Amino acid sequence: MFDDFLLFFIVLPLFGCLLVNLKRLETNIHNIAFYYAIFILIVSLFLLFNLSINDYTYSYILNINWLNIDNYSIKFGIDGISIFFIILTTFLIPVCFKLNIKSYISVNYYYTCFFILEFLLLIVFTVLDVLFFYISFESTLIPMFLIIGIWGSRERRIHAAYQLFLYTLGGSVLMLLAIFKIYSFCGSTDLETITLTKFPLSLEKYLFLAFFIAFSVKVPVFPFHIWLPEAHTEAPTGGSVILAGILLKLGTYGLLRFTIPVLPESTIYFTPLVYTLCCLGIIYASLTTIRQIDLKKIIAYSSVAHMAYCIIGLFSLTVEGIVGSILLMIGHGLISSALFILVGIIYDKYHTRIIHYYRGLTMVMPIYSILFLFFTLSNISFPGTVNFVSEFLIFNGLLCSNSFILIIAGIGTLLGASYSLWLYNRLSFGYLNTKTIKYFSDINKKDILLLIPFIISTLVLGLFPTIITDYFNTPVLVILETINYIIQ
Amino acid sequence: MISIYNILPEVSLLIIVLYFIIYKSYVINLSNDLKMNHIEKIIYITFFSLILILISIYDSNYCIYSFNKLFVNDNLTIFTKIVILVSTLAVLFISKNYLKNNKIYEIEYYIFILLSILGMFTLISSNDFITFYIAIELQSLSFYTLATYRRKSLYSTEAGLKYFILGAISSSLLLFGISILYSFTGATSFNDLHILLYNIDYLNNDYINNLYLLSMILIIVSILFKLGAVPFHNWLPDIYEGSSTSVTAFFSIVPKIALIAIFIKLLMLLVLITNSSFNVILSISCILSITVGSLSALFQKKIKRLLAYSAISHIGYILIGFIGSYSYNYVSILTYIIIYIIMTILVFTVVFTLSRQKESRGLGTSIVHIEYISELKGLAYKEPYLAILLSITFFSMAGIPPLAGFFSKMYILLNAIESNLIIVPLISIIFSVVSAFYYIRLVKLMFFEKDSKIKYMKYKKKIIYFTLVLIVFLTFFLFMPNVLVEFIQILIENLYNIYL
């Protein structure tokens, strides 16, 4: 195992950019991009297999001597939590490559955007330095802006692209000032150094608010969520998959890794505020979803609700809560992406996302309906799927922390079931609507093969979650112990 | 002492100017292209040799006074002179096509550019307020003439006249401030003033304190006018829009670093670090510049005016660096201005490269460069390389990571927070989001919309190789910022060693 393996791994997507733009390989560009992305996935699985379960520090540490100063270097490292986000990223990118897009500009720009996005995401999940986390976290806006704006489906995509960019940028600039204040106070932006510094409470409250506003726009938490339905409906299917699958998790990962350990006293101080906002988010998002008529908006709002559960789990500051939260992040990444792929399939056929045009699809697209049912049930957190395990763990954690929120979150589960089943009901059951849909064909083999990994992983993680959660336990315990140590 | 060697760059520029004046009178029979070729060769050779000379005399603790301490040559002046020469070369290189299309074949154009560079060199090397004033006047007068270059166009003459009148007012304020300073100190040389003002206990003496504040404020106001900071910014958009585009490129790229270098030296020498009386005017100017610059640029439809207002907001960011008392502030200022110069060169490269045939009634076809923002529509589908170039430049100007523009803002804000400022960084960062809008609107026009009506003419490929270097710098600044920043840091540390 050579020392700079992580550097090699992070730079792989950049080579993908180069490959895709070479003129000589232009005829095979789809295959090359897809197989190269699969290669990156295999390398990340290889990283997983060499990670040991009971490690309490980071593995594959990479130190980059950025400025030529002796003691100052940026650290990159993987631990049990980040490895699964990395695998999720490298898994969703080849999936995005196989989805259809209509493109006036040459296709290599699509692949280039996604490879650059993958590069930045790999940096986000491995860097252990809060300034570089911010840099890569913000940089993902540029490819996302281009993806939504160039390959989106209708005129409103420009509005959605602006909203994504400016809203997220506006939220996170305060975090930049907070990072500078942390640097000015501690003398370093290295994660381990600032985790072990105890800030004065007055300063810590402002820093926490700045960080929380930045992450709450990204996640998104209830008052700042309005960009998400817009961005999802206007994005191409690949863009939606990546947005729902990974980019929302940047916010919660940032909270878990960079806010809760670094600013523990204000975390406890502001927990009631966070709980309130998240509960409002769950109830409001779920109730709004019941009235939506756009397929993608429904799934987008369900993302808001699920992410609110993640944050509630994080702020419960118990092992079950945080482990459940991370598992929900991964599960939601898989399930929402699968739902967006399904909606994308139907959109490619009929070019409308309004639900009034569809009815009785079970009659003519039975396989599609089965797959849709499976993922709808997963979205509801039906037992046997990964969402169930994660929500169960979150509720356990919440019981230790605050039982009143538990009741409201439980109501949220009920509402989640209501809109998901209502959606499925309107879409698949009833008599076929031949006025609007005249030609039928079921889902083809390519798309089924695309969805099979999602089905397998959802079921396997739902029935045997310890495959993954064993990796989480130790890092989460480390985080909680550090918090205890700092507070004393 | 043979002091003429110390002002070798200035003397050589003067000789070239004289040569051009004489050149015109005896080569009247040569064709325009041949004349331009000669002139360009002479300018390139002169500038390259000056750059080499300046690089060779660069040394860490170098400081030589000449002409009875009227001029100084230290490493900041050498660095700034090199930057000015390189950026002028870049501007002349990229505007060659434009000059040919608009038939600007007169030698006086180059003469005035060289004279303004001579003024800037003298300004940077000045060690005395008299030299300072003369140099500012020389530079400004050349600029007034350059602004009115196309005398047959209404816009140009209006721009030049406005610039002249307002510039004359600011120069008179400068002279007034200098004379007040002379009145109570009896010295105009920077060294004498530095010794006097650092050691006199003027804070307890109201009379001297008021005179000091008044004179320094007048001088600062005059410099802020020339930079284009906000209460004094009204001339900037009109001048940028009215002058011919090559002159606008020259205005927006070259003089700012000269003014900022001398401003740094003035503040370092004449203002005690602990004296915070000027922070108020600099903070107000800075906040207003960022606010007015960002908000006004949202409504512009012409490229040059948009660049003018964005220049005003960038000057606002640079002024943040002058506010706090943290000693590394000047490093961040110089980093910012260099990255700003690179970004502006890239934008003007694309403006000069995109040209199309335009039919005007009765006058036949003429070649026109882009003027309105809407002419950038659909650039990605016609000229993909230029579109990528411009979008990287605009994202960098907006301050989006991981490009170099973000790092320049980062250093400025980092130093501001280390100086314990709160309101100024907060407002500047909120308005940076506002200004991000008009930059991404340009990216949107290029990538998200298709327009088949405008067809661009072909351009020379060698410009692209030149821009490739700059784009690589902007994109990969993330990986090696110390190449620039450490260098400037050593420069400023040496400056502190020499003067303080």
- Each residue's pLDDT tens digit, A308-346: 999 999 999 999 999 999 999 999 999 999 999 999 999
**A72 at B interface, C-beta within 8 A:** no
- A2 pLDDT higher than 70: no
Lowest-pLDDT choice from A97-111, A456-470, B115-129, B192-206: B192-206
A183 touching B (Cβ < 8 Å) = yes
Count Cβ neighbours within 10 Å for each residue of A403-437 and write b for 16 or more, e otherwise.
Answer: eebbebbeebbebbbebbeebbebbbeeeeeeeeb
Read off the pLDDT of residues A199-228 as tens digits, 9 standing for 90 and up.
999 999 999 999 999 999 999 998 999 999
Please list every residue in chain B whose beta carbon sits closer than 8 Å to the beta carbon of residue A146.
Answer: 443, 447
Shortest CA gap A141–chain B (Å) = 9
Please report the pLDDT score of residue B479 as a whole number.
84
A46 touches chain B (CB under 8 A): no
Distance from CA of A405 to the nearest CA of B (A): 34
In this complex, do A166 and B400 lie within 8 Å of one another by their Cβ atoms? no
Mean per-residue pLDDT of chain A: 90
| Range A463-470, long-range pairs (CB < 8 A, 24+ positions) | A463/A384, A465/A327, A465/A386, A465/A389, A465/A390, A468/A84, A468/A327, A468/A330, A469/A323, A469/A327, A470/A53
Q: Are A360 and A428 in contact (CB under 8 A)?
A: yes
Q: A476 and A81 in contact (C-beta within 8 Å)?
A: yes
Q: Which residues of B touch A162 (CB under 8 A)?
A: 437, 440, 444
- pLDDT of A68 strictly over 70: no
Task: Determine the residue among B320, B328, B414 to mutate to test chain A binding: the one whose Cβ has the most chain A Cβ atoms within 10 Å.
Answer: B414
Question: How many residues does the structure list for chain B?
Answer: 500
| Chain B interface test: which of A177, A182, A188, A213 (most B C-beta within 10 Å) | A177
Contacts of A181 in chain B (CB under 8 A): 417
* Option in A138, A149, A176 nearest B448 (CB): A149
Question: Residue A187's closest chain B neighbor by CA?
Answer: B418
Select from A180, A189, A207 the residue whose CB has the most chain B CBs within 10 Å, as the one to mutate to test that interface. A180
Residues in chain A within 8 Å Cβ distance of B482: 66-68
A169–B400 C-beta distance less than 8 A: yes
Closest CA to B170 of B142, B136, B143, B193: B136
Residues B155 and B448: their CA atoms lie apart, in Å, by 33
Q: Which residues contact B265 (CB under 8 A, 6 or more apart)?
A: B76, B190, B495, B499
List CB contacts (< 8 A) between B294 and chain A.
Answer: none
Note whether A157 and A141 are within 8 A (CB).
no
Minimal Cβ distance to A170: which of B433, B448, B450: B433
pLDDT interval class at B328 (50, 70, 90): confident
Which residues lie across from A78 on neighbouring strands? Answer: A59
Question: Residue B485 CB: number of other CB atoms within 10 A?
Answer: 21
Contact flag A183-B414 (C-beta cutoff 8 Å): yes
Position A472 pLDDT exceeds 90: no
Q: Residue A274's pLDDT is what? A: 94
How distant is the Cα of B397 from the closest Cα of chain A, in angstroms?
13
B80: three-class secondary structure by DSSP: helix
β-strands A74-78, B63-66 pairing: unpaired
Distance, in Å, from the CA atom of B2 to the CA atom of B418, rounded to the nearest integer, reads 46
DSSP B71: E
Tokens in use for B73? Answer: 């040559």
The closest CB to that of A166, out of B436, B478, B479, belongs to B436
**Rg of chain A taking only CA atoms, in angstroms:** 22
- B456 touching chain A per CB within 8 A: no
Q: Which of these, A124, A14, A115, A176, lies nearest to B400 by C-alpha position?
A: A176
When CB atoms are compared, the residue of B400, B448, B478 closest to A158 is B448
Between CA B479 and CA A74 the distance in angstroms is 11
Phi, psi angles (nearest 5°) of residue B332: -65, -35
Residue B159: count of CB within 10 angstroms of its CB: 27
Nearest one of B156, B411, B116, B145 to B253, comparing CA atoms: B116
Burial B87-118 (b: 16+ CB within 10 A, else e): bbebbbbbbbbbbeebebeebebbbbbbbbbb
Residue B368 has what pLDDT?
A: 82
Q: Which two three-digit tokens encode residue A283?
A: 């109830």
Measured between CB atoms, does B388 come within 8 Å of chain A?
no
A166 contact residues in B (CB cutoff 8 A): 433, 436-437, 440
Lowest mean pLDDT of A355-359, B164-168, B245-249, B441-445, name the range: A355-359
Residue A173 and residue B432: Cβ atoms within 8 Å? yes
Shortest alpha-carbon distance between residue B381 and chain A (Å): 6
Interchain CB contacts (distance < 8 Å): A and B: 82
Does B175 have pLDDT greater than 90?
A: yes
- Gap between the Cα atoms of B120 and B114, Å rounded: 10
**Phi, psi values for residue B233, rounded to 5°:** -105, 0
Lowest mean pLDDT among A284-298, A453-467, B24-38: B24-38
Minimal C-alpha gap between A464 and chain B (Å): 40
Q: Has residue A131 got a pLDDT over 70?
A: yes
Distances from the Cα of A80 to the Cα of A39, A242, A330, B197, B274, angstroms: 22, 22, 13, 62, 50
Among A67, A162, A177, beta carbon nearest to B425:
A177
Tell me whether A17 touches chain B (CB under 8 Å).
no
**Residue B198 pLDDT more than 70?**
yes
User: Does A1 have pLDDT greater than 60?
Assistant: no
Contacts of A103 in chain B (CB under 8 A): none
Nearest CA in chain B to A123: B402
Give the nearest chain B residue to A173 (CA atoms).
B429
Instruction: State both tokens at B115.
Output: 């004279």
Terminal-to-terminal C-alpha distance of chain B: 26
Selected residue of B332, B420, B444 to mutate for chain A interface (largest A Cβ count, 10 A): B444
Q: How far is B437 from chain A (nearest CA, A)?
A: 7
CA gap A74, B40 in Å, rounded: 47
- DSSP-derived pairing of the beta strands B63-66 and B71-74: antiparallel
Interface with chain B: mutation pick from A68, A122, A154, A176, highest number of B CBs within 10 Å: A176
Which pLDDT score is estimated for B203?
Answer: 64
Residue B196 has pLDDT above 80, yes or no: yes
Residue A187 near chain B (CB below 8 Å) = no
The residue among A275, A312, A482, A484 whose CA lies nearest residue A396 is A312
Give me the helix-helix angle, B129-147 and B245-253, nearest 10°: 160
Half-sphere CA count of B5, side-chain side, radius 13 A: 5
Q: pLDDT confidence of A154, banded at 50, 70, 90?
A: confident
Cβ separation A158–B400 shorter than 8 A: no
Paired sense of beta strands A74-78 and A59-64, if any: antiparallel
According to DSSP, residue B67 is labeled T
| Cα A352 from Cα A349, distance rounded (Å) | 9
C-alpha to C-alpha distance for B375 and B329, rounded to whole angstroms: 39
Is 60 exceeded by the pLDDT of residue B206?
Answer: yes
* pLDDT for B60: 72
User: Quick check: B179 pLDDT over 90?
Assistant: yes
Residue B115 binned pLDDT confidence (cut-offs 50, 70, 90): very high
CA B421 to chain centre: 27
Which among A359, A348, A366 is positioned nearest to A435, based on CA atoms?
A359
What are B375's two structure tokens?
């002419």
The mean pLDDT value for B216-237 works out to: 92
> Which residue in this structure is represented by tokens 């489906």?
A153
Distance CA B257, CA B250 (A): 12
Calculate the CA B121 to chain-centre distance: 13
Question: Is A73 part of the contact surface with chain B (CB cutoff 8 Å)?
Answer: no
Under the banding of pLDDT at 50, 70 and 90, the label for residue B81 is: very high
* Cβ contact, residue pair A181, B448, below 8 Å: no
Per-residue confidence (pLDDT) for residue A58, from 0 to 100: 81
Instruction: Tell me how close the Cα of A47 comes to any Cα of chain B, in angstroms.
Output: 25
Residues A164, A111 contacting (CB under 8 angstroms): no
B residues 471-490 closer than 8 Å to A (CB): 478-479, 481-482, 485-486
pLDDT tens track for B271-304: 876 677 788 889 999 999 999 999 999 999 999 9
Is residue A168 less than 8 Å (CB to CB) from chain B?
A: no
The DSSP line for B172-190 is HHHHHHHHHHHHHH---BH
| Nearest chain A residue to B430, by CA | A170
What is the C-alpha to C-alpha distance for residues B326 and B409, in angstroms, rounded to an integer? 16
What is the residue-averaged pLDDT of chain B? 88
pTM of whole model > 0.90? yes
- Chain A 85-114, CB below 8 Å of chain B: which residues? 104-105
B328–chain A Cβ distance below 8 A for any pair: no
pLDDT category, A108, cuts 50, 70, 90? confident
- Say yes or no for a CB contact (<8 Å) between B448 and A145: no
Residues of B in contact with A138 (CB under 8 A): 400-401, 406
